[in-house]
Structure 1
Amino acid sequence: MLGQHGRGLSTALFTRPALALARAGVTPNMLTVAGTVLTVGAAVSTLPQGRFLLAPPLLAALLAADSCDGILARATGRTSQFGAFLDSTMDRLADGAIFGSLIVWAALHLADGALRTTTVSLGVVCVVLVAAVPYARARAESIGATASVGIAERTDRLVIIGVAILAVGLGAPAWVLSAGLALVAAASAVTVIQRIVVVRSQALAQERAGAMPGGERA
């Protein structure tokens, strides 16, 4: 998955800038909120209007810089449960802005009724599923399980839709964006299913351990 492979590169690229921000008094939570505000602003000011050449590089830069908050937190020893919660919550807002803006674009600009309906529907499905993927992981952790598996992390989903947006901006037919949304939806659905299966297996193992003589139920 791209997210796993990209973490080392992000750390190498953004550690020095993050430390410079720390010296200026910037906290990880400040970066988290500022990055989300900028990402949401960039999404709603470019995607609904069909600015598909500008949006991908702008959003890619903002989303890459989004890793600075975690790097800053680790480098300064300021990691916290609240910081992790805030980061995850802000990510959901940013993702919702991106996919929601694509829904608005499709509703306003696609002349083909069938394609418009399909694209809007796929966008709605994506909004739901891209939120369900991290929710499944968070809910699993709340019951003592681990659900970090899956074929599509956040980075993978955003790269897929970013490539589709750029392709349409370069002249590809609009259905390419619909295909990108369909791929994001399918990959997200598979990831949710994978996490459900893994958590079910772990929960059953915990229950068996709790039922054994001398065992303790988690």
Structure 2
Amino acid sequence: MLNGLARDAVSRVTDPVGRGLLKLGLTPDAVTVIGTVGAVVGAIWLFGIGQLFAGTMVVTFFVLFDLFDGAMARARGYGTDFGVVLDASCDRIADGAVFGALAFYSFVYLDQPSVGVAALLSLVTGQVVSYIKARADSVGLTISGALAERAERNVLGLVGAGLQGLGVPHALEICLWILAAASVFTVVQRLLQVRAAYQQRPVGVTRDESSS
């Protein structure tokens, strides 16, 4: 949902950065990998030792790299199919590290299994939401817009972690359970979107024809 609402505003900020990174000799793929490695290391290391606020700052910094690779591709004038697959794969890796580390923190440091369950539920459903979209695209079914996409997962997960790190009680628990509920809803929403797109496909159009 946030992806669509903020795209134009974000592009006005990220496009100049993308042009600058290209001038430094970096490629969109390199920036994708740098952002992913930074987010993974920051989440596992800092969340893993209980440093939620520091971890939130580091992960947020590297998550923003996900905005720059697209800006670089636009500035360069083209993207690549490999870049699309790499970006999507790295997003799943980063999400797994962030919410896996938050689950670990919840079980070990908070000693609150329910919060850990919310983190794991957010992780699994978030991966499924992305997978449904990818599979729909692969068979020529176009869907767009959902309640809890990657932007919402990042915002709720990192805001909850950051506030918890600053000493706000129950911040992580509240944010993760809101996210878990929204993500479960979004899985159902995505499946209904796919069914609607399938039902609207012209009669007699095969999967290969519709995706060409």
Partner residue of 2:131? Answer: 135
Decide whether aligned partners of structure 1 residues 25 and 190 sit closer, same or farther in structure 2, where only a CA change above 3 A counts: same
1:101 offset after TM fit, Å? 0.5
Q: TM-score, length-normalised on structure 2?
A: 0.90
The partner residue of 1:120 within 101, 113, 116 is 116
Correspondence list, 1:1-218, <5 A: 1-111=1-111, 116-173=112-169, 175-206=170-201, 209-210=203-204, 216-218=205-207
The SS at the match of 1:54 is: helix
The SS at the match of 1:53 is: helix
Contact preservation (8 Å) 1:136, 1:147 = no
In structure 2, distance between residues paired with 1:163 and 1:52:
10
In structure 2, distance between residues paired with 1:78 and 1:156:
27
Q: What do residues 136-178 of structure 1 show as CA deviations (whole Å, max 9, x unaligned)?
A: 10000111101222111211111112221122122222x3312
In structure 2, distance between residues paired with 1:87 and 1:190:
25
In structure 2, distance between residues paired with 1:39 and 1:78:
26
Q: Which runs of 5+ in 1 are unaligned?
A: 211-215
In structure 1, distance between residues paired with 2:182 and 2:108:
27
Q: TM-score, length-normalised on structure 1?
A: 0.88
Of residues 154-163 and 17-26 in structure 1, the stretch that sits farther from structure 2 once superposed is 17-26
In structure 2, distance between residues paired with 1:21 and 1:166:
28
Q: What do residues 154-209 of structure 1 show as CA deviations (whole Å, max 9, x unaligned)?
A: 11111112221122122222x33122111111111111111111111221233x61
Contact preservation (8 Å) 2:148, 2:182 = yes
